[in-house]
Every structure is written in structure tokens, then in C-alpha cells.
Amino acid sequence: MFLQIFNFELKYRLKRPATYIYWAILFFLAFLSINILGGAIDGLNIQMGYSGNVMANAPINIYVVTTYLTIFGILIISAMVGNPVYRDFEHETHGLFFTYPITKSGYLFGRYFGSAVICILVFTAVSLGLYIGSIMPWLDPEKIGANKFIYYIQPFFSNIIPNILVFGAIFFSLASLTRKILANYVGAVFLFVIYGAASSLLLGFENKALAAMLDPMGMTPIYEIIKYWTPAEKNALTIPLDGLLFANRVVWLLLGGLTLFFTYKRFSFGQFAKEINLKRLKKAVSNSTENEPNSNIAFHFTNPIFNKQTNLKNWLQITKIEFLNILKNRYFIAILFAGIAFLFSTNVNIGSLYDTNTYPVTYQVIELLNSQFFMFILIIITFFTGELIWRERGSKLNEIFDALPLKNSLIITSKFSALIFIEFFIMFVILVTGILIQISGGYYKFELDVYFKSLFLILLPNYILYTMLAFFVHILVNNKFFAHAVVIIFFLFNFMMAPGLFEHNLFIFGADSSIPYSDMNGFGHQVFSYSMFKLYWFAFAIILMLLANLFFVRGTDTNMKTRLAIAKKRINKPIAISIASTLIVFIFIGAYIYYNTNVLNVFTSRDEQIEQQYNYEINYKKYLDKAHPRITDVYIETHIFPHQQKLHLIGNYKLKNKTNRDIDTIMLNINHTYKINSLNFSSPFEIINKYTKDNFKLIVFNPSISAGDSLLFDYDMLVESIGFSALGGNSRILTNGTFIDSHMFPGFGYEKENEISDRKKRNELELPPIEGMPEINDSAALMNNYVNSDADWIHYEAVVSTSSDQIGITSGDLVREWKEGDRNYYHYKMDQKVLNFFAFISARYEVKKDKWNDIPVEVYYQKGHEYNLDYMLKGMKMSLDYCSKNFSPYQFNQLRIFEFPRFSSFVQAFPNMIPFSEGFGFIAKIETDVEAYNYPFFIAAHETAHQWWAHQVISAGVKGVTIPTEMLAQYSALMVAKQDLSKPEMLKLLNFFLYEYLQSRSTEKDKESTMMLNENQIYLNYYKSILVMNTLENFIGEDSINSALACYIKHVGYQEPPYTTSAELIDHFKQVTPDSLLYLYNDLFEKITLYSNRTDKAEYKKLDNGKYEVNLSIEAKKFYADSIGNEEQTPVDEWIDVVVFAEDAEGKAVEEIYCKKHKINHEKTNIRIIVARKPIRAGVDPYYLYIDKIMVDNVINVREKKNIE
Amino acid sequence: MELIINNLSKTYTNGVQALKDLSLEIPKGMFGLLGPNGAGKSTLMRTIATLQEVDNGAIDFNGINVLTQKQEVRKILGYLPQQFGVYPKISAQTLLDHFAALKGISNKKERKEVVESLLHKTNLYESRSKNIGGFSGGMKQRFGIAQALIGNPQLIIVDEPTSGLDPTERNRFHDLLSEIGENIIVILSTHIVEDVSDLCSNMAIINRGELKLAGKPSQLIDNLNGKIWEKRIEKSSIHDYKTKHNVISSRLFAGKTLVRVLADEIPDSEFASVAPNLEDVYFSTIN
């Protein structure tokens, strides 16, 4: 029986064209994915898998793409495996079928396995597409590694087959038991919800195992397994099918089996017969209550009235009934609840940064809600547009309905409005959800105006636009399922591909120049351009709706020819006028936007950008090593006009030719959009480049500047924002919170950062590979510090003016403050030499003041952001204290933090001032009872330490560049944190840095350097630096290190070129290190060293003298990795901490009772220790001294040794 | 008041010619449109009900051009399609009220009266709050006529309303139709001869898209007076009779076959003259 039905199902499926279409779609997507990875297709916003040093066909990429395609393929699985029993209901063949003498198990399992087998065959397209894609001749050969059969076969068995069986069982069950195909859509949505929840759980530090179990797609465990895999490992290793992945697969297969079993139990052929009988019975009852027609009652005829009011009432009537219909629709409710459930499951990590959450401030809640709800709203728009358009036809009421005296436009607009009201409703739900999230996060500042503007003025219009588009498609296509497909494909195209293809928002449906919100700047300057883009797209969408009106199917004619004829007939004067006038509005606004973005402002397409960069490099690279005079004195007047978004910059610089040669030609870098009022050197000169779009002036001095000569340089220029630009406009000059730095001011020399950085593009253009940082002994490069090459140490003085509501800030002591007209003026002067590295800020501020040794320490902040001011002040003060005690005196007379809008998210130390982004610490929620990373405190300490490690000691721009700056700032912050944190808190902090280092290095796209020769890699600067210095400090001691640093700063502080390097710093360290420990520098700084330390066995036995003997079996392995992560094992020969823990006095926690460094020089070592108290846990290296991917097995529970007699 | 149909032609994209140059005048009162399945009745009905385009021809109703002034037609139209469904989970009263509103009865109170009277009239009042999805075929058809009667229509089109109804329900439905005013046009399309003979003052027979016959039923029957002959024969000899005589219908009766023949003279001595009925008119026209 089973075989017969199974065979029938196979044959049936093999005859269906859909089977082959699905195969082709999957093949195409797989083929496309590998081509994108292989560098054959540019400009796409989508990429699944890893790039950089990871091969396109690396096993991990094949695994990840295969898995993503099964996730996408859920729709196919649902259509194929979900439908076989439902099919009998749909075609009403169940009446026939169920009377045949078939067994339930034969019928159900035959159908299920038959479809599942065909579905599995269909999904061979994924593996085949990937394989065939990977051998295409046009792929970048450097991106293709060895192709092994196992790479393709493994995900097929561990992923495709289980997923099809499990999802198939779920869909099969849903459709068979509910007899509604929509149940499958909801099922699919729920699977996505669980998947999304699992992915976001994975982001947190806890619950990783739970997340890996929860994910039905089997994707999350992969990410957990490979989180530390380096590019080399990604290229070489297949995913091990054990641990989390195996458990995940088993759990879900079991669940699938249970679902099938449940379906088998619940499904019955008789069930239908019974139901039908019940219905008959009911009817009979109701029939029997009837009397003969009552002819005594006359027909009550009322004449209908048709006027404008009738139209309005009818519109309301349909809108209302359709609105309530959707609202009561159980699938709508299910999708909505799925969305809300999704939200609550993910809001755990709101604004998470370093595992520390932020306060749920309104803009963040809205961003979270919208990004999570976006997909659900699109699903609702797509599906309910179909339901609305097809409602009458779906319930076969269309002939009656279409003959009603309603205008087409009334039918369309009323149904459309119903969905718009639904979207209003969803926005309202989001608002309420948002407020609930805020309350649950202990945040009670409900900024209703921000909610209102964001939800109803910014987000809702987009959804209305999408709805108009969906209506247009559904009406025009006039086939529900085909139209769904068109709408979904359009959305995918519009969001994923259109931005890459068209670049300009004028060609991306519904797009705008973005309207970011900041507590400091509000919606600010973007409101106007945003409105223009929206008007433009609304005009377009209205044209679509007017066209839809013409093609609306009313009655029973559905062929395109007749519809065209009808459409022609429907064109009358008012309609023609509406279409024409909307078209005029559309074109007019489009032209106006174009005028703003491309005429008043510069719009540079990607290709133009590449061309400009290419020309720059080809024509001007020769100036790279050309010497230029250095700035020695800076006097700047920066007049900020926040409300006009305008700057007036006046500068008087003193320059000096510090070289021993004459200088005749220099590149003076000035952005070409600046309006230059005057530009002058005190020596005769000529500007020789005439191209107005060059971001520099090529200046020839005649006579040339002799060695040792000084000259003056003056400029006067305007930076204005005219009209609006395509991509979001100026985010630095703002109504409140202007923040500009020295990069906006004139500088000298060829700028390597402007070169094309993409390796493939450079190959195509036959440019040589991009150069890394200069070598550590490059004597020319040693002459420049890495902040900039325009100057060494300068005298700095500046005047800032701004509008009367704001204060203006720059580095230096305030020497004078005055008002002139309605503007505030501030005159600052530095009494100390500083780097040519300055910033100007203007905003309305609240100030929190404090003092450290008579030096003002202050935070300037946006009202409402009071949360972490004390942490910041504490970080600054403790750091000032620590650095001035241990290294050298603090060189300035004050230290201040300034908050700036969240449009950029960083913190940077300038001389005596620290601009600190609004989105980076001000709203962090530091919970003292949770051991979370207090980054406002830590970062404040770090940036303060930069006043020494950057503003007193600056390194040369060569390899190893950040060792004397970032690493030492991190070290100082770590030492400050140590004073403040308990030991468990410190360990948590180190664990965090270890995780970040291992995780970031695994995604390195270029190469990982050693610490000693780093090239400014963020994960070396901030994460590995901490681990390395923690180890060094543990071995040679804080005092030795600090004395070395004090000596170092004395030696190189404020030095003129050549500048110091990492090697010089390490030499200072080495001088305070005993010879026996000198090997450390090799492992810590000159190699990439990794360890795999673990305790295999830990046993104790009580001795006769009351003491305890602990026996440990330890495994220790050491590896050296190369720049892409190939590891080579090397003999271990280290001093490693061996520890034993016992219960503390209260019996609540554990405390260390033994900790000693043991020399471990074998892979396997047994250690015997005698301790006084009963041991609980024991093991090796608990304090993060060695970089180890798995820390949890370092220390394990100690068991009592059973005596075997 | 008259509905004038001139030279209507319609060919579907699949090549089926549903209407061939059809012209017909439909006067006030109940008009029966008789024809076999696939004769083009529903196409004609839907065209009059503004739901379908034709290739050629014109339809005029009291000065309204039915083919172009669709909105005007819809205002005075009551239409019961051959098949219809309803929104799921909705009661008769609610749906009728919804239609009444959409048909221009905006006043709530008036609408309530209209709906209630229609429910009473169609004997659905007791079941008014039940889900229409659970209605029997007869109840559903009565609901259909109730919605068609909303708002004092001048033109009512009922397309095959009695097919599939049991005799009791059909009688009930006939009673209902017969009460509808004499002053409007009611077009009843059907393939059941009794529907027409019971109800209609005028009728037409169409087949394969063409008009075959039109007139008053009584007159059309009178035309056949003395021309219909009946005989009881063996089942096996039916074929011989069909080749020899103009057999218009045959049916089984007590194991034998009764044939009816149209002829001016008695075909053979065993035939007996019988009174013609509308069925004879119908069969003699379409065969």
C-alpha cells in the first residue's frame, strides 16, 4: 500500500512542471551565489558566506550557502512536501480517494515520503549549482580552492535532507490537519521567527548552546562552531558533525518525527465523513423550522439614493468591513503575534555593545522594532493585498459584488484604505510594544513626539508606498499566486539589488536620502530632502494606482485583450487629466531632486569614483615622497553657522622647510566643494592644476623654498551646504552638535588613503597591489608621525564663533570669551606644543563639572543623557591619577569630554578634549549587579591615557604603529580598571577581550600581523593588546613595566623626527625583564601564538595528616599561526599557572588556595600538589595569560580518588 | 419599459462563439429565457448585468446604453448569478445589510426595514443570524433573490435559479418570483421548461448563441395544436422511429418508451393526438 502511493506520488511530482522550475530556481541561485563569492559579479548588496582570504568554494562557504538556500527554499519545501494531502482537499478528490480501501499509514506516509524524496532530488540543484558555478572559467582563480566531493556531500546530508524532512513534516502536518494552505505560510513565518530569535540569542554571551539548539535551520550551531576559525581553517576544514551541530540535527529530526506521528494519530478518513454528516444534520434542523413563504407581508421597497454622500458612506462601509476582516483574520493575528514574540525575544540585546546593553531610548527602540517588524509588515502587505483583491472572487461572490452600483475607484481605494488602516494599527502596536519594552527596561522617558514622527511620518509612508505597489501588481497581474511572486521578487530586487545597480535614490522605489535621528540634532537637516523624495515616489505610486484603476477586473472578462479594450474605454477626461498632472508632478519633483543632488551637489557614481581615484594615483603618486614644508604654527578662526549648516574658515599658518633641500612643488589638499575667498603664501607661487574637481591644488613656488626657510600660509574659505545631496547630506555641520576635525582643513601631500583599495579592481586596472604600511626600519617613513605628515609639534591658537544658543569649543585654554551681534566668540590658546590634530565643536550643552588636583575635569552632554557621567569622570580622574603618577605629569590645564551626535560612532582623544559619540556610551546601561563591561568608564580611562600615549609620545607611521599609542592606552586603562574591579569582574573583562580578539581575527580579510609589526588592525589595537600586556604585567610586574614606561616617555616624549617605534618600546621593556623571561617577547609580540591548554583529569585523596593530595593530568599545546591562520604546533615550554580552588568560609563561592607557575614542557603532564583544604576545582591558566580558544576546560571539578583495592 | 437587444455577438478567446448576432426585445413582466446548457444564456445574462463585454451589438434599457453606461444600469439592477458564494462566516442579515448599504440605501433605519422585510419575505427571518455558509441550496437561492430585490430594481436578472433545487424548494422559489411586481422586467434564464410555463408571460428560446423562437408561451403552444402525436413503443425500436419520424422527445414510462412526434398528419395509426405543451415547443425548437 505504502509503495503504491509512494510510487504514485513520485510519478505525479515528476510530471509536474513546478518540480523542474524549482530545480532551475535553486540551481540558478546556487550558481549565482558562488559567482558572487568568486568575484564574478559586482555591486550586489547580498553576499552569503565569507570572502577576503576565504576561497569562494571553501567548505564553510559551501555549507553556509547551502544552508541559506534551504532557508530560502522553505517556500519550495512548503509547496512540495506541505501540499500532498491538502491537494486532495483543494481539488476535492478526497471524497473519492478516502472511499478506496487504503490504509491511513500508507496514504499519509506514502504521500509524505514520496514528496520528500522528490523535494530532496530538487535540492540537488543547490549542490550541483554550487559545484558547476565554482568551475566556471571566468572566476577569479585566486578565489577558488581545491574542490572536494565531501564539501558538497556533507551539507547535503547534514543539512538539506534533515531540513526537508523536518520542515516537510511540519508543513505536511499543518496543511493536512487544518486543510488550509495559509497555515503553511504562518508555519514558515514561525520557523523564521525561531531562527531569528536563535541568531540574536547567539549575539549575547550567555545562552549560546540554547541558541544553537533552537535554530531549526541548523545555521546557528555552525556559527558557534566556526566562531574562531581563521581564513586558513575555513579553507581547509569541513564542519565537524558532532557536538552542537549533531545535537541540533537530532533534536529537530526527533521533532519532525513526532510531528509526523502526531499527524498520523490525529488524521482520520472518517473525520471528514463525520463532519459532513454534522453539517447535513444542522441543515435539516434549520430547514424543518421553516414555514411556507409568508405572502401576507408585502415587499418593502425603498428607493435608493445615489449622491456624493452615498459614495463616501460606501467607501467607509467597505473600508470598515475589510479592515475588521483582516483584523480578525487568524493568520494576521498569528503573524502579528509572531512579530511581537520575535521582538520580545530579541530585545534582550537592545543596543548591545560589548555585551552591555543601552537604555531603551526611543530612537533605538523604534529602530529595533522597525528592523524586526519590517519583514512581517512586508508579508502582511503582500499577502493581504492578494486577499483583498481576491476576496469576492475567492468566495465566489464576485458576480453579485461586481454588479453593485460602485465605482471601480471606490472599490480599489476602499480596500486599499483598509490595508492602510491595518498598517496604522500595526504602527500603533509597535508604539505600545516599544513603550512596554521601555518600561521593562526601566526607562520611563516616553518621547511620544519621536514615536509619532518616526512611526507615522517616516515609516508609515514607506509602507503605504509598498502597499500601492502591491495593489498595482495584484490588479495588473490578476493571478493571485503569480502576483505574490512578482511582489516578493520586486521587493527582493528593490532592497537587495537595486541600490547596487542604480546607486541613485531616484531609481530605487520608495528610497530616500535617509533621515537619521539623534537626541542632539533631532531629525535635523534631512527633513526637507526626505519629504521631496517621498513626494516624488508618492507621485509615482499614484500613477500606478491610476493605471491599476484602468485595468481593474470587474466582471468575468479576464483575458488581456479584453482588459486592454476595457482600459481604453475607461480613459475619460478626468482620468487622463489626473494621470497627466501626476506625471507632471512626478517629473517636476524628480527634476528638482536631480537639480539638488547632481547639479547643486556632486553625485559621484561608483564608476566615476573609481575613475577619479585611478587618475589621482596615476597622475600624482609621484608626489608621494616629495617633501613639503611643515606647519609649525596654527592660528585658525572657525565661524560655525549651525542653523545655515555653514562654516567660515580663516587660517594663518607658519610653515618651515625642515628638509635640507629646496621645495618647488607641493600638493595642497582642499576639498573642491569649498568656496575659496583667498589663498596666499608669503612666497611667490602659482596654482598649476586647473581641473575644478581635484581635491587639491598643485602649487609651484618660484623661487623655490630653500632649506630651512619659513613662510606664511593664509586662507579664507566657506564650507556651505547648498540644496541637498543624494546620500544623506552633511552629517558633520549640524543644527546642534557640529563636530569637525583637522581633516576638513588644508593639508599637504599625496594621500595614500585615496587610492583604490579593492584588490580585484586594482588588478583589473593594472595597478600594482596596494602597499601595506612601511617597514619598521624605513628611514623616510620614520620621519612622519602617524597622525599626520603635515607637521611635527605645533603651536596652536584658535577662535571659534557660533550662534548665540551654543558654545564653541576647541583644544587649548580659553583666553577670552565675548559676544558680538547674536554670536558667541571663544578664543583658545595652547601653552604647550601639540600635534597638528584638532577639532571644533558647537552645541547646546549641559555640563557636569569635577576636579582632579585643581584641574577641571568636565563632561559636556546632551540634556537627558546623565546616566554615565559619573563613570566617565571617574575613568578620567583615575586615569589622570595613574598616568601622572607612573609615567609623567599631565601636560594640559583641563580635560573635557564632549558629546556629539550619533551619526558617527567613535570616541577620539584630542589635546585636552575627548569628543565622545552620543551612540557610544552615553546611554549605556551599566548594571552594577551584573558583571557587565563598564565601557563608558573604561573608554574614558583609555582616552585619557591617550593624553600621554599619543599626545606626548607619538609613533612613526610604520609597522607596529599602535604599540606606543593604542596598546599603552589600553594597558593604562586595564591597570586603572584593575584598581576598580573585583577579580571576577576582571576575568569577565579579559574573557570579553579574548572572545573579541579570536572572533575578529577569524574574519580578517587581509592578513593578521604580529603585535610588533601591526598595521593598525582594530582587534590588535584594542583586544590583543590587552591580553598581551596582561600577561607581560603578570610575569614582570606592574612596577617594572611602569618604570620602563616612565623611562621611555622621558626618552621619546615630544621628540622631533625620526619618531619612535614598537621596537624601541619593547627594548625599554626588555631592560627591566630578567633574562629568563626574555623569550616572552617572541611569543607575545613577534609571533602569533595560540595555546590549547586543558585539564584532563583532577582527583584528590585525603592524606593521613589531614591534608589533601591533588593529582592533575594536564594537556598543553602551543601553536604558531601565520597571517591567514595556518597553525603549526611547536613544543610547549612555558611557565603556566596551576591552581586549586576550595570553598570559601561561607561555602558560597570558591577561593584560590594554591596558585603557582609550573614549568610545563610536555604535551601531557601529571602534577601532584598537596593542599591544606578540601579542593573543589583545579586546573591550569585560569587568568587568561595564554591565548586559548577553549577556556572552559582549563579548570575542572576535582573528584575524590576511589581506591581500587 | 423595454429592454432592446440588437445584433449581439461574442466570441471567447478559446474560439467558442457564445452569441451570434442575437437580437431580442424584452417587454415588461416576467421573461423566460430558455435554452440548453451552453446555449449562451449566461453570457447574455452577464452582458446585461454589466459583467461582460461583447464584440458587437447594443443593448438599450429605457434610454440607458447598457454596454457603456454600466454605472447607471447597476443602479437599477437586481442580479442573481447562476452560482454564487458568500464571505465566510457572515450572517444573512449582516450581508444583506452590507449589500443594501452598497446599493444606495444609506439611511440605517430604512435599511433595517428593507432587510427585515426581505428576510421575512424570503422566509429567512428565523435563520437571519446564522452563517450563510451553512444554508441549504434552497435557502441560499432565496437569499440570492433577496439581495437582488434590494433597492427597488427596475431590471432583475435571475440566471438558472432553480437548477439543483428539490421540488418543494423550487415551488417556494416560484412563489417568490411570482410576487415580484409586474411593472418591471424580470429575466429568468433556465433550462427547465416548467420554470417558464409556471411563471413567464413572455419567453425566448436560444440555442448555440442564436435566437430560435420568441413570443408568449400560450401562443407558442397553440401553434402546435394538433401537431403532436404520441405512441408507446419498444425501447429497441426507438432508432427506427427517429429515422422515420420527426421525434421531438422520448421518455421511459413503465418499461416502455413514449415517443412524441411533430407532424401535420398522423404518422401512423397507432399514434394518438395529444395536447401540446411548452416542452414540445422547446424540444421542437432546439432539435
- Residues 391-430 of chain A whose Cβ lies under 8 A from any Cβ of chain B: 391, 395-397, 399-400, 402-407
First to last CA, chain B: 33
Indicate the residue type of A131: Y
Categorize the per-residue pLDDT at A277 as very low, low, confident or very high, splitting at 50, 70 and 90.
very low
**Mean pLDDT calculated for residue range A371-390:** 88
Q: Determine whether the interchain pair A304/B105 forms a contact, defined as Cβ–Cβ distance below 8 Å.
A: yes
Instruction: Residue B110: list chain A partners with CB under 8 A.
Output: 302
CATH number of A1087-1205: 2.60.40
Categorize the per-residue pLDDT at A1005 as very low, low, confident or very high, splitting at 50, 70 and 90.
confident
Q: Determine whether the interchain pair A557/B113 forms a contact, defined as Cβ–Cβ distance below 8 Å.
A: no
Q: Determine whether the interchain pair B75/A321 forms a contact, defined as Cβ–Cβ distance below 8 Å.
A: no
Task: Retrieve residue A250's grid coordinates.
Answer: 537530532
Q: Determine whether the interchain pair B122/A293 forms a contact, defined as Cβ–Cβ distance below 8 Å.
A: yes
**Mean pLDDT calculated for residue range A270-277:** 43
Categorize the per-residue pLDDT at A17 as very low, low, confident or very high, splitting at 50, 70 and 90.
confident
Please compute, for residue A792, the number of CA atoms within 13 A of its CA located in the half-sphere on the CB side. Answer: 16
- pLDDT, residue A757, reads 86
Of residues A944 and A80, the one with the higher pLDDT is: A944
Q: Exposure of A888 by Cβ count < 10 A (0-12 exposed, 13-18 middle, 19+ buried)?
A: middle
Report residue A1145 CA to chain centroid gap. Answer: 47
Checking if the pLDDT of B194 tops 60, the result is yes
Categorize the per-residue pLDDT at A292 as very low, low, confident or very high, splitting at 50, 70 and 90.
low
CA distances from residue A636 to A274, A625, A640, A649, A657 in whole angstroms, order as listed: 90, 28, 12, 7, 21
Whole-angstrom Cα distance, residue A1180 to residue A1176? 14
Instruction: Residue A414: list chain B partners with CB under 8 A.
Output: none
Among A321, A395, A562, the residue with its CB nearest the CB of B98 is A321
Instruction: Residue A325: list chain B partners with CB under 8 A.
Output: 87
Q: Determine whether the interchain pair A309/B106 forms a contact, defined as Cβ–Cβ distance below 8 Å.
A: yes
Among B50, B84, B116, the residue with its CB nearest the CB of A397 is B84
The fraction of chain A above a pLDDT of 70, given in percent, is: 94
Residue of B nearest to A411 (CA): B102
Instruction: Residue A294: list chain B partners with CB under 8 A.
Output: 120-121, 123
Q: What is the mean pLDDT of chain A?
A: 88
Question: Sign of torsion, CA B130 B133 B139 B141?
Answer: positive
Angle made by CA atoms B204, B206, B208, in degrees to the nearest 5: 175
The pairing of beta strand A791-803 with beta strand A630-641: parallel
Determine contact: A1193 vs chain B, CB below 8 A.
no
Q: Determine whether the interchain pair A310/B135 forms a contact, defined as Cβ–Cβ distance below 8 Å.
A: no
Q: Determine whether the interchain pair B74/A290 forms a contact, defined as Cβ–Cβ distance below 8 Å.
A: no
Residue of A nearest to B138 (CA): A287
Q: pLDDT digit string (tens) for A520-536?
A: 998 877 888 999 999 99
Q: Determine whether the interchain pair A299/B149 forms a contact, defined as Cβ–Cβ distance below 8 Å.
A: yes
- pLDDT, residue A793, reads 94
CATH number of A773-787+957-1085: 1.10.390
Categorize the per-residue pLDDT at B61 as very low, low, confident or very high, splitting at 50, 70 and 90.
very high
- Residues 530-589 of chain A whose Cβ lies under 8 A from any Cβ of chain B: 554-557, 559, 561-562, 565-566, 569
Among B87, B102, B127, the residue with its CB nearest the CB of A404 is B102
Q: pLDDT digit string (tens) for A528-581?
A: 899 999 999 999 999 999 999 999 999 888 888 889 999 998 999 999 999 999
Q: Do domains A625-749+788-949 and A773-787+957-1085 have the same CATH topology?
A: no
Q: Determine whether the interchain pair B147/A400 forms a contact, defined as Cβ–Cβ distance below 8 Å.
A: yes
Q: Determine whether the interchain pair A302/B152 forms a contact, defined as Cβ–Cβ distance below 8 Å.
A: yes
Categorize the per-residue pLDDT at A96 as very low, low, confident or very high, splitting at 50, 70 and 90.
low
Instruction: Residue B176: list chain A partners with CB under 8 A.
Output: 293
First to last CA, chain A: 62
CB A1204 within 8 Å of CB A1148: no
Whole-angstrom Cα distance, residue A364 to residue A784? 42
- pLDDT, residue A162, reads 94
Q: pLDDT digit string (tens) for A874-886?
A: 999 999 999 999 9
- pLDDT, residue A345, reads 66
Of residues A612 and A290, the one with the higher pLDDT is: A612
Q: pLDDT digit string (tens) for A945-985?
A: 999 999 999 999 999 999 999 999 999 999 999 998 888 88
Instruction: Residue B99: list chain A partners with CB under 8 A.
Output: 400, 404
Q: pLDDT digit string (tens) for B204-252?
A: 999 999 999 999 999 999 999 989 999 998 888 888 888 888 888 888 8
Checking if the pLDDT of A246 tops 80, the result is yes
- Residues 148-207 of chain A whose Cβ lies under 8 A from any Cβ of chain B: none
Q: Determine whether the interchain pair B179/A279 forms a contact, defined as Cβ–Cβ distance below 8 Å.
A: no
Q: Determine whether the interchain pair B85/A309 forms a contact, defined as Cβ–Cβ distance below 8 Å.
A: no
| Residue indicated by cell numbers 481539488 | A91
Looking at CATH, the fold of the domain delimited by A625-749+788-949 is given as Immunoglobulin-like (2.60.40)
Whole-angstrom Cα distance, residue A649 to residue A636? 7
Substitution target from B66, B87, B139, B140 for chain A, most A beta carbons within 10 A: B87
Determine contact: A661 vs chain B, CB below 8 A.
no
Give B87 to chain A, closest Cα distance, Å.
Answer: 6
Substitution target from B11, B53, B102 for chain A, most A beta carbons within 10 A: B102
- pLDDT, residue A1203, reads 66
Query: Which residues, at least 6 apart from A1021, have a Cβ–Cβ distance to it below 8 Å?
Result: A962, A966, A967, A970, A1014
CB A29 within 8 Å of CB A66: no
CB A206 within 8 Å of CB A351: no
Among B49, B79, B152, the residue with its CB nearest the CB of A304 is B152
- pLDDT, residue A728, reads 67
Task: Retrieve residue A1144's grid coordinates.
Answer: 570559601
Give B277 to chain A, closest Cα distance, Å.
Answer: 28
Q: pLDDT digit string (tens) for A484-507?
A: 889 988 998 888 888 888 888 899
Residue of B nearest to A297 (CA): B121
Among B13, B98, B113, the residue with its CB nearest the CB of A300 is B113
Give B282 to chain A, closest Cα distance, Å.
Answer: 29
Give B158 to chain A, closest Cα distance, Å.
Answer: 11
The interface predicted TM-score of the complex, written ipTM, equals 0.93
Q: Is the pTM of this model over 0.90?
A: no
Give B199 to chain A, closest Cα distance, Å.
Answer: 17
Instruction: Residue B75: list chain A partners with CB under 8 A.
Output: 304, 306, 405
Whole-angstrom Cα distance, residue A130 to residue A29? 9
Determine contact: A16 vs chain B, CB below 8 A.
no
Helix axes A1038-1052, A1025-1036, angle to 10 degrees: 110
Q: Bridge-partner residues for B229, per DSSP?
A: B261, B273
Whole-angstrom Cα distance, residue A90 to residue A80? 14
Give B273 to chain A, closest Cα distance, Å.
Answer: 39
Map out the domains of chain A as residue ranges.
2-278, 308-582, 625-749+788-949, 773-787+957-1085, 1087-1205
Instruction: Residue A293: list chain B partners with CB under 8 A.
Output: 121-123, 172, 175-176
